[in-house]
């Protein structure tokens, strides 16, 4: 089966916030993404609320009919949202306050005890857990010991080297996905995946369950329209 597409709509909120008001509407964008075939909606409500706000997150939880995925650093604010909203998935990222975008995975050896406690708490609320991670085999094996349901591969390095050497770019992810499978971890992926590199990634990672894509998809929607963009990304996930 093709991996699921979760559309990250942070950039819709960024555009809205540049002018104020409610145009474009993140709620309308989420509804349309689902209408056009998206399997889920992802948001990352950062503490400074520079794009998706806490209010957006609560409002979206009432109207998203597919899978709702909330990303964030698991501080008290984030955990309160997860407890109250009970999304389909909570994706934990190691971002410090003020970082521009998620550009590194968890050190699951250093933070293993911290992650064990957080993940146990979130799972007790009936929410699937995922952690943002790189392709280091030791970190993936350590991730399995936290009790997490899935890992989300940070695919920035893959996208960066894709054009110059595709086999070399994908190789670490193939190896890492095999280890994840052995550890019985589900596999998600995200960061800089695009219409250029998504199909190659999906075909080479056969156990890929879900991709979360925002910046590239929303940027393509400016040229292609949101409906075309969502449908094209879905098509690229066909293995």
- The answer to whether residue 44 is catalytic is yes
Neighbours of 117 (CB within 10 A): 13
- The answer to whether residue 235 is catalytic is no
Structure-token pair, residue 54 = 């806490």
- The answer to whether residue 71 is catalytic is yes
Structure-token pair, residue 85 = 């909203």
In the numeric block, the tokens 């979130």 are attached to: 122
Asked if 213 and 8 touch (Cβ cutoff 8 Å), the reply is: yes
Structure-token pair, residue 169 = 């770019």
> Which residue is catalytic, options 34, 44, 51, 134?
44
> Which residue is catalytic, options 34, 67, 134, 191?
191
DSSP state of 39: S
Contacts of 226 (CB under 8 A, 6+ apart): 29, 32, 33, 36
> Which residue is catalytic, options 71, 134, 152, 236?
71
Nearest-Å Rg of the Cα atoms of the chain is 17
Give the residue numbers marked as catalytic. Answer: 44, 71, 191
């Amino acid at each position: 089966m093709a991996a699921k597409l979760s559309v990250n709509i942070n950039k819709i909120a960024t555009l809205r916030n540049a002018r104020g008001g409610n145009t474009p509407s993140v709620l309308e964008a989420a509804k349309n993404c689902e209408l056009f075939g998206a399997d889920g909606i992802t948001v990352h409500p950062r503490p400074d609320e520079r794009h998706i706000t806490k209010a957006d997150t609560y409002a979206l939880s009432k109207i998203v009919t597919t899978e709702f995925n909330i990303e964030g650093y698991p501080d008290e604010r984030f955990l309160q949202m997860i407890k109250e909203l009970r999304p389909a998935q909570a994706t934990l990222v190691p971002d410090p306050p003020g970082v521009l975008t998620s550009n590194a995975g968890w050190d699951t050896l250093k933070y293993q005890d911290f992650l064990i406690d957080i993940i146990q708490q979130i799972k007790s609320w009936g929410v699937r857990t995922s952690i943002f991670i790189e392709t280091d085999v030791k970190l993936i094996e350590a991730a399995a010991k936290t009790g997490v349901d899935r890992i989300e591969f940070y695919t920035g390095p893959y996208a960066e080297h894709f054009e110059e050497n595709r086999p070399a770019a994908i190789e670490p992810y193939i190896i890492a996905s095999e280890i994840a499978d052995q550890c019985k971890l589900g596999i998600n992926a995200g960061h800089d995946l695009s219409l250029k590199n998504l199909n190659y990634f999906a075909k080479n990672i056969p156990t890929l369950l879900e991709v979360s894509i925002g910046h590239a998809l929303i940027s393509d929607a400016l040229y292609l329209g949101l409906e075309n963009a969502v449908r094209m990304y879905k098509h690229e996930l066909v293995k």
